Each structure stands twice: as C-alpha cells, then as structure tokens.
Amino acid sequence: MQLELTQEQDMLVRMVRRFVREEIVPLELDLDPDTDELAEEDSIRLKAIVQSMGLFGLGIPEEYGGPDIDMVTQTLISMEISQHRAGLYAPCYGVFGGAGLAQLFESSDAQKESYLYPTLRGEKRGFFGLTEPSGGSDPARAIQTRAVRDGDDWVINGSKIFISGADRADFGLVFARTSPDKGRGGVTCFIVDTDTPGFYVRRIVHTLRSAHYATELQFEDMRVPHANVLGGVNKGFAIANDRLSRQRIPYSAGCIGVAIKAHEMAVEYSKIRETFGAPLSSRQSIQWMLVDNEIDIQQARWATLEAADLADKGLPFRKQAAMAKLVSTEGASRVVDRSMQIHGGYGVTKDFPFERWYREMRIRRIGEGPSEVQRHIIARDILGSSLR
C-alpha cells in the first residue's frame, strides 16, 4: 500500500474539505443542532455543486453513472464529508448522493428496471431489513421471519427492528428464513414493496440519535412474488454478509472524520483558553489528551485505509474491515470524549457539536456489528476453523 496520497487524491481531499468548510459548516450556524436535513433549496444548490465536482453518487459503479473512484479515495472523501456537526449520520446532509442498496447491482435485469434504476434516479427509496428482535449480530441464527412458498408467491410472516428509513421507503430488502433446518444456508433475501398488504411500520424506535430514527416492522401474511427473490433462494446470507463487511469501511471513515474535527477544535481551543494565567495547551494533562487523540486518529486512519486498499485489490479484507471498525469506533469515541473534556462546560452544551457527536458515536460501537463481534471475527481469522 502506498502511504502517500496521489496527486489526484490530494486534490480531491482538498476540494471536498473546502466544500465542507465553506458550504456546509456555515449553514449549521442557523440549523437546529439535531437536524439531519437541509432546506430544499440548499440541498438542490449543493447537489449541483457536488455534481459539478464530479463526485455525486459515491459508491455507484461507473457503468451505472457513478464517479470512477476507488475505495481508498472514497474512504478519504468519507473522512472529509463527515467533518461537521451532523456528519456522523448525515454526512453533508446527503448532497453527495450514494449507492443506496448496493446489493441491487447484482439483481436481475427486471429487478434493476423496477428497483435499481428508479433508486439511482432518486425516484424510489429502499431500506435494508436484516436485524430482528432476536438479534442482529448473528443473522444466520437470529432470523426468525419465515417465508413459505405458495405457488408463484412467498408468504412472509415475522418482524424486524432497528430498520432505518422503512417508513419513508418504497421498497426494502427483507431477509427471511426459507429453510428452517439449514442455518445460514436457509436464508433468502426478498425485495418487498412497502405498499404490499401485510407490511406494517409498527413504531419509531427512539434512540440516542435525536434526528435519525429507526423503525420496527411487522409482516403479516405478506405475499411477495417469487420474481422478487434477490440472488436466489437460500442465498441471502452471502448478500447480508458481503454488505456487512463492505459497509464497515465507510462506517469507520465517518467516525474518523468526526474525530479529526473534534481534535482540531480541541487543539485550537486549548491554545486560546487560559486558566491560572496560562493557556490550556501549556498543561501537560491537556497535551497528553491531544497526543492520545492524535494516536487514536492515526491508528484508525491506517487500519481503515488498509482495509479499503485490500478491497480495491480484490483481496480478502474481512479481518481488516473488522479491525478498522473496532479501532475507529472505539478510538473516535475516546477522541470526542477528550475533546469535550478540554472544552469544559461549553463541551456539553448544544452550542457546540460535541454533545451530538458524543451521543451518536456511542451507537457506532454497537451498530454494524458491536466491538465484541469484530473481535470475534478477528479471533476466528487468527485461530481458524477450530474456533467455535
């Protein structure tokens, strides 16, 4: 792996950084501190700027109209677009677009016409429905939602929880058990229209995130055509697993971006805030906090870029993605905590972004597989198949 940025990467990073600082951060001065959306006119204006930069639709393959950007460069950009108050869960308030449900790139031609292309055109929204009340870290065993074949349809019964965006979606990917005795080999992914009879959004699940909520879903005798099976019957676990590994890289990058911004603010504040006649930055206790911030950020940055580099090369990256997720979420949590501490009373007010980052960052150690699961993945890689 090359440790220095290429000239093109350096230029892109500088351009995106400038966009965030000049276009996004000033808007936040007037926005509600907990919001995750911009006024429509701002959103349209900023999307046009991003399109003119050639960066709209990060993660969308070039053949589907996305920019031709490798995973390492995407990761570097993700570290930049999260460097603002809402950046962890709403990087640049969505004006960079995105791939949405990447699994649809592997769908059939008919499914692409009905779901992928409308999603890429912004006409349809989708959700990813994997986690159930019985658990999310071990989908092979936790999935209890059942799908039973009935003629040309499948009849689905069950429930999902912690599902983002299902209440506003037109369709979703729903994972259900189709062969009860086959473990991970008995799970199928269905594309489900949200206006299908028997599809219910039961409630909003309120969490530490005060802008972006999750939902709980219920399926009651919901009939889905066989043509809406994605990737084949009993092939759903591979779809879910691939998504979980790949998603860990941008997930990590978002945490690193917030940590970089929090650290930068802490460094600046420590130089201007005086106590007992000297700036905070002259105190060793503060200096060591800043040093630890720097170390946490660098560790997370290299671990995440290494995982992205392996993914670019088509090499196995599951262990490295798990390491990146583990190191970045735990390290960034510490960075935000220290930076908040350096800001004292102001750090916990809604006048500053730390309190939002502090709450949202806590979720990152659980979402997309908790730290313990990442350690389990790494342990399995070290110890091999002997580990049960």
Partner 1 sequence: MGVRLKKPWLALAPELVASLPGQLGVFQLANEHREVVYIGFAGARSLFGLKGELGHRLGKWPFFRVEVNMAYRTRYRELLMAHFSDHGCYPTENTAEETAGLGRLSLTALTKIAVKTKVGS
Task: Enumerate the active-site residues.
Answer: 368
Residue closer to partner 1, measured from CB, 134 or 196: 196
Interaction between residue 292 and partner 1 (CB under 8 A): no
34 is a site residue for partner 1 (CB under 8 A):
yes
Of 108 and 210, which CB lies nearer to partner 1 in the complex structure? 210
Closest distance of CB 64 from partner 1, Å:
25
Residue holding tokens 């070290």?
Answer: 382
**Cα–Cα dist 27/39, whole Å:** 10
Distances from the Cα of 202 to the Cαs of 17, 133, 220, in angstroms? 40, 13, 12
Q: Count Cα neighbours of 371 within 13 Å in the Cβ-side half-sphere.
A: 12
Binding flag, residue 242, partner 1 (CB under 8 A): no
- Taking the C-alpha atoms of residue 320 and residue 257, their distance in angstroms, rounded to an integer, is 19
Query: Quick check: 32 binds partner 1 (CB under 8 A)?
Result: yes
Question: Any contact of residue 44 with partner 1 (CB under 8 A)?
Answer: no
Task: Compute the distance between CA of residue 225 and CA of residue 82 in angstroms, rounded to an integer.
Answer: 39
| From candidates 1, 49, 204, 291, binder to partner 1 by CB under 8 A | 204
Nearer to partner 1, 210 or 371 (CB): 210
| Residue closer to partner 1 (CB basis): 32 or 138 | 32
- Find the part of the chain contacting partner 1 (CB under 8 A) among 204-212, 267-275, 281-289, 304-312: 204-212
H/E segment holding residue 158: strand 153-164
Distances (CA, A) of 99 to 244, 247, 346: 15, 11, 37
Residue 260, both tokens:
């970089």
By C-beta, is 209 or 301 nearer to partner 1?
A: 209
| Site for partner 1 contains 43 (CB under 8 A) | no
Should residue 148 be labelled a site residue for partner 1 when binding is judged by CB under 8 A? no
Q: Does 203 bind partner 1 (CB under 8 A)?
A: yes
User: Taking CB under 8 A as the rule, does residue 121 contact partner 1?
Assistant: no
Token couple for 56: 């709209």
| Span from 107-115, 165-173, 174-182, 322-330 in contact with partner 1 (CB under 8 A) | 165-173
User: Counting contacts by CB under 8 A, is residue 144 touching partner 1?
Assistant: no
By the rule CB under 8 A, 211 interacts with partner 1: yes
Q: Is 146 exposed, middle or buried (0-12, 13-18, 19+ CB in 10 A)?
A: middle
Report the residue from 166, 191, 256, 321 that binds partner 1 according to the rule CB under 8 A: 166
Buried b / exposed e over 79-101, threshold 16 CB at 10 Å, is: bbbbbbbbbbbbbbbbbbbebbb
Burial of residue 225 (CB within 10 Å: 0-12, 13-18, 19+) is: middle
Q: How far is the CB of 189 from partner 1 (least distance, A)?
A: 22
Residue placing its CB nearer to partner 1 in the complex, 62 or 351: 351
- Residues of this chain that bind partner 1 (CB under 8 A): 32-35, 37, 40, 165-168, 200-204, 206-207, 209-213, 215, 218, 220, 350
